[in-house]
Amino acid sequence: MKAIVLAAGLGKRMKSSLPKVVHKILGKPMVNWVISSIFEAGIKTEDITVVTGYRAELVEELLPEGIKNVRQQEQLGTGHATIQAMETINSDDQILVIPGDVPFIEPETLKMLVRESAEGFEAIVLTMKLDNPAEYGRVIEQNGRIRIIEAKDASPEEKEINEVNTGIYIFDSQFLRDALKKLSPNNAQGEYYLTDVVQFAKKAKRVILNDPQESLGINDRVQLSKAQRVAQQRINHKHMLNGVTIIDPENTYIGPDVIIGKDTIIEPMTFIYGNTTVGERCNIGPFTRVFDSTIQNDVTIVRSEIDRAMVHAHCSIGPFSRLRPGAVLLEEVKIGNFVEVKKSTIGKGSKAQHLSYIGDSEVGENVNVGAGTITCNYDGKKKHRTVIGDGAFIGSNTALVAPVNIGKETVIGAGSVITEDVPDYSLGLGRAKQVNKVDRYRKSEKGE
């Protein structure tokens, strides 16, 4: 089985400078929702072709590695887009054709269509029944043939039909090649409609979708918002049934690829997106954002931002902390309020509790980083590393000017600026001598 994803359109009603399919639902672009369902249906990466068009580079940079893409230079309709894609497909496999803006199509539905295709049909059309079909193409079956009439081309009588096209098909590849050659742009839009291909099939089948929400199309920002709410409800419901406590599901946002362990509690106004894994017995939020990160068991995160970081078990983070890409916290680390960690590893049992920046650093075990400490990692041209040994104590308001090494069990005096390495078991001081100007600021006798 091969798959063609149609993702070339502008999406005029989105009123956006971006292609429609790059707009995100719970942090994941629409087109990638569709591709994930295709993967889960058993179709391999190398067997998927995505047709791009308007601002193609924005769509192409989102595609998983190994997926082919072709560009539709002129926007001449879905039939024309399919012709472009078929030029990359040389096999006689069945062809799944699917729009890039149907994010909720279930893998099981696609698997069912694949099973139906084994019966030798030239065309299988996935349809649905709607009380208000609106702009959807109407589906008509007569004398064993199926026709799809676009809403713009439908007569008043045809518009009364409530069985409509979802835009998802499976075609016999040779039939599709031959049928595409017969297309013409004789319609209201002046485009080559893929829907016209179906009428040429002598052996075709309609498969009616039980849940119309699966093929929910997204054409404007209102529909995008509705889709977000549908996805939010489905995903949160699934996690709660799997043993996750979500205090306020209506104000908790979890992406479709997120994994969360049982007995974890998610507080309100928490956003967990991307390829994130959260372990068991964690407490996340409130007002927390986690993206593309791994959180192990028994971790607490309060009012903080975690971006492409690794947090080992029994850590506590926040409030108002920020872990930037490359941050690694080993077991039992404490990162407190207004602390930022970037591209650094913090060793087991270490603490940075207040107002600190740790960047491009290697911090050993059981280190105490005092309030206001910063690693001065950037000299204006290059980034440099700071290494702090096990058991070191860094006094408050210290500046560690990288590259610099602080020895194990070393103490750095508060207020120091350290520019040179400090050996193990030493006291490092780097501050000016205190000078007292006696009586410089005596108050007047008349009071304050």
Give Dmax (Cα) for the chain.
110
Nearest to 365 by CA among 377, 355, 353, 351: 351
| Residue 123 structure tokens | 């065309």
Whether 80 sits among the annotated catalytic residues: the reply is no
Check the CA dihedral 185-190-191-194 and report its sign: negative
Helix axis angle, 173-180 to 78-86, nearest 10°:
120
Residue with tokens 């047709």: 51
Look at the chain and count its residues: 448
Rounded to whole angstroms, the Cα distance separating 399 from 322 reads: 19
Catalytic one of 80, 237, 314, 354 = 354
Which residues on neighbouring strands pair with residue 284, listed in sequence order? Answer: 266, 301
Rounded to whole angstroms, the Cα distance separating 264 from 245 reads: 6
Contacts of 98 (CB under 8 A, 6+ apart): 3, 4, 5, 6, 34, 38, 105, 110, 167, 168, 169
Question: Which residues carry out catalysis?
Answer: 354
